[in-house]
Amino acid sequence: MEDEDQYRMNSCANPVVGWLSRLRERYSPSGSLRWYALSGSIWSVIGSLVSRIFTLASAVVIARIIGKVGYGKWGLILQTVTLFGRFAIIGVVQTGTKHIAELRKTDPNRAGRSISLVLIFGLIFSLVMGVCCVVLAPTVAENLFGVSELAFPLALGGLMLVAMVMTQALQGALAGFMAFRSIASSNLVQGITLIALVWPLTANFGLVGVVVTMTLSWMGGGLFCLAVLIKQCHLYRIPLGFHGIWSERKILWNYTTPGMLIAVVMGPAMLLSQAIVAHIPSGLAGLGGFNAASRWRMVVLFVPIAVRRVTLSILSEMWGRRDYRRLVKALWTNVGMVGGVAFAVAVPVMLLSPWIMSMYGASFRSDWDLLVLLAAAAVFQAINDVVTQVAMCAEKVWWTFFIHVIWGAQLLGCTYLLVPFWGVRGLVWAWVATTIVHMLLNILAATVIIKRLSMVEKVQRDQ
């Protein structure tokens, strides 16, 4: 509301702003879903851009301090922590977004019970996964990676895991409120903390310093999100607490459980595929190049990932209203927009790939082709991420889980067959092929769900 009032004041003082304001009111009236989609997308993109800039800047600093092999080791640590964290993140974040968006206006009490249950479950499970990370660190470092010196940084990553999961869970809840400006602000807080600490801690403590830096930056963003969430709940009169939360346990089975099982498939598949590379000659150096290229793959995906949150919030609200026609229209509009934006970003990244990889050091330049392939795969992944929102809204998350089982089997199988011949490039080609097949399967699932919705809408019209 404050943003809209300020915009109208500026419209009176500046004719250009006034024209833009009238144009906005014509095509995206204040308070409409289109307005929420536009403003939410803008703030989400800003937040993602801030996060990516700080992440890429810190990655360059880390790579230059600890070198290509050290950066490969950091990639293994990050992948392991992400593996354990995914068990909670996938099941918690989107669950919170969906139920807050669907219930915050129609049933505040149930919304409060749902988000309280999700956050409490996320905290408990993240602590359990953090302990597992600590306990299994020596085994993973020595037996899986063959690098025993990674045991202590991996164990320390347990704290990073808890901070990461809870911050993303809180951001997921804020997305349900469509508080994307606050999410962008939390990314700024997190990024400033990261940049301020990465050089001194990494230079003095190496990999341990990197882990501590990441943990503190996640904590800073999480505390900011917690404060905003309490304020939003007060604004919508949504009660938080333990009372009656178990009555909403159904969401744990329909959303959180299949989400966790998706993590059971995705995490090990991604980790084991990289472990296969780590065991070949020069494998760690190859993973250093792969991890550097993967950072820029996320640059291609930063707009799609930002818009995905907005898409889920709006689709969930339409699902709650049973407005299926607008839901389908919004879905395919987002598919076209997200795919187009991802392609527009991927092309210059591919063309500039030799120069981009050189920023990490001279030894990274020869891995420019990895960046080209991963940037191309990111376009298909962007489309896939939007399409999967249909299953989330339709309470078909179990369908998504079974599709991920196929994804994991294909990734490991292709990696196992290709890496002995092509090294790290075998892993990248396996990733490209798996991403395309995954997208096609999710499009098929979405098509089936949409056809069912069309039948329901026809019955409603006949009645």
Report pLDDT digits (tens) over 204-216: 998 999 999 999 9
In a domain, 170, yes or no: yes
Examine residue 13 and state whether it is found in any structural domain, yes or no. no
* Amino acid 54: pLDDT: 87
Structure tokens at 248: 């909403």
Assess if residue 37 is contained within a domain.
Answer: yes
Question: Mean pLDDT per 10-residue run, the chain (463 residues)?
Answer: 43 47 51 64 78 84 87 86 74 79 85 90 89 91 85 92 92 87 90 92 91 94 94 90 86 81 81 84 80 84 78 76 76 84 92 88 83 93 89 85 93 90 88 93 89 64 55
| Residue 230 falls inside a structural domain | yes
What is the DSSP secondary structure assignment for residue 146, as one 8-state letter?
S
Q: What is residue 404's predicted lDDT score, i.e. its pLDDT?
A: 92
Note whether residue 279 is domain-resident: yes
User: For residues 232 and 89, what is the distance between their CA atoms, to the nearest angstrom?
Assistant: 22
Supply the pLDDT for residue 263.
Answer: 75
Phi-psi region of 219 (alpha: psi -120 to 50; beta: other; left: phi over 0): alpha
Tell whether 162 is covered by a domain: yes
Q: Are 198 and 62 in contact (CB under 8 A)?
A: yes
Q: Domain tally for the chain? A: 1
Residue 313's closest CA among 71, 95, 159? Answer: 95
Please give the pLDDT value at position 26: 53
Is position 16 within any domain?
A: no
Query: What range does the domain containing 36 cover?
Result: 32-457
Q: What is the pLDDT of residue 193?
A: 93
The number of residues making up the chain comes to: 463
The helix/strand/coil state of 239 is coil
* CB neighbours of residue 61 within 10 Å: 18
Is residue 20 in a domain? no
Is-contact 437 384, C-beta < 8 A? no
